[in-house]
Every structure is written in C-alpha cells, then in structure tokens.
Amino acid sequence: MSTSAGLAQPSSPEPTAIQQILKVNCQPCHNEANKSSGLALTSRDAILAGGNRGASVKSGSPAESLLVRAIEQSGELKMPPGRKLQPNDIASIRSWIEQGMAWPKDAATSSKPKGADWWAFQPVKRVAPPATQDATWVRNPIDAFILARLEKGASEAFARGAQRGAASQSQPRSRPASSRRRARSATSLPIRRPRPMNAR
C-alpha cells in the first residue's frame, strides 16, 4: 500500500478535519436516522460497529478497513456514490485510522452554532411553577414565580420595588375581589413596577 505524498506530517491529521470530511461527504446518507446499509458515520463507536457488512474500519489498519476500500474505490463498493473524495481527504482518513481514530467529543460533528445555549435560542418549555412558602398569596401560576423570586431574595433594584409592591399586595384577601392589583404607596401615587427579571 502506498503512503500518500500529500502527508508531510502523517502523525498529525487534524481529527476535526476528519469529522468534517465525514460530515460533508458521508453523513447525509450515514447518520442515526438514516443508516444506509446499516451504517452511521457519526461517532467513533458507530464507525467501529459498522453496517450490514460488519465493521467498516479496523482501527490501526486502513488496509483492512472496508471504509478505506470504499473511498479508494478499489473494490465493488464505491463511496460516496457517483463521485470520489479528494486524494488528500482519502489520505487523511487513512492516517487517521492508522493512528487509532481519535474522535474529540463536541467537535465538528456537532451542528450547534456557537452561543446556541443562550437562553433566547432555547425552545419554549412548559415549566412547573415553583413551590412557595406563602401559598395564600398565590392566585395563579405567574404569582408563584413572582413570589418564589421575592422569597428567595431578589436583586437590589428588584427588591426595592418589590418590597413596596409586595407589602400592599400581601393581603389580597382583605381587598374586594374586583380590586386591581396595582401597587400604590401611601401617597396613592402608582409605584414604579419592578423591572422584569429578564430586562437588560
């Protein structure tokens, strides 16, 4: 077998580059949801597990790896179908297998863009209202969130507004049912509402 001339440094093929090659060229047909011929090429374990023909790769031994024969298109099975990988991509995959198939977690195969955990990008979820100490104050689930936050002790700005607000709201039962729950100070002027928790 020939070592590719393109491999100036056979000892360091970039593992994430391998993941990128597989992602672009192979995973459209070999993923968890769509395993062509029973094969997913989305993780080291899946690659080792192989498909209908058995293990697709023998770690450390590209020459004995079905996947390598497939991308070199030296046998009947030719991958990807209808075209051929760049020679340097083939060489990278060969040396990656030779060196034990390093597969960093959370690398290129993750399709999450940077910052994807930012709260605003999360799907809307139904959240159970928190438990509160003073159950009598809570008249609807939103109240529970507010009271839990008050009980926990809020940020200074929040607490200043909320204390006044909560003080006048803490005995809702003593007010007429129709009373609007607008916080008023002794002067009867409306108090500025506390800023919502998420306001920036």
Name the residues that contact ligand HEC, by CB under 6 A: 25-26, 28-30, 36-39, 41, 50-53, 56, 66-67, 70-71, 77, 79-81, 85
Tell me the C-alpha distance between 44 and 102, whole Å: 8
Give the residue with the Cβ less far from ligand HEC, 30 or 149: 30
Shortest Å, Cβ 111 to ligand HEC: 17
User: In the bound complex, what is the minimum distance in angstroms from residue 199's beta carbon to ligand HEC?
Assistant: 48
Going by the DSSP 8-state scheme, the letter that residue 51 receives in this structure is: B
Query: What's the closest the beta carbon of residue 31 comes to ligand HEC, in angstroms?
Result: 10
Nearer to ligand HEC, 79 or 101 (CB): 79
Nearer to ligand HEC, 66 or 162 (CB): 66
Q: Are 42 and 31 in contact (CB under 8 A)?
A: yes
Treating both helix axes as pointing N-terminal to C-terminal, what angle do 156-169 and 141-152 enclose, rounded to 10 degrees? 120
Nearer to ligand HEC, 77 or 102 (CB): 77
Query: What is the Cα–Cα distance from 200 to 195, expressed in whole angstroms?
Result: 9
Beta carbon of residue 71, minimum distance to ligand HEC (angstroms, whole number): 5
Q: How far apart are CA 59 and CA 109, in angstroms?
A: 20
Q: Alpha carbon of 153 to those of 107, 145, 158: distances in Å?
A: 40, 12, 9
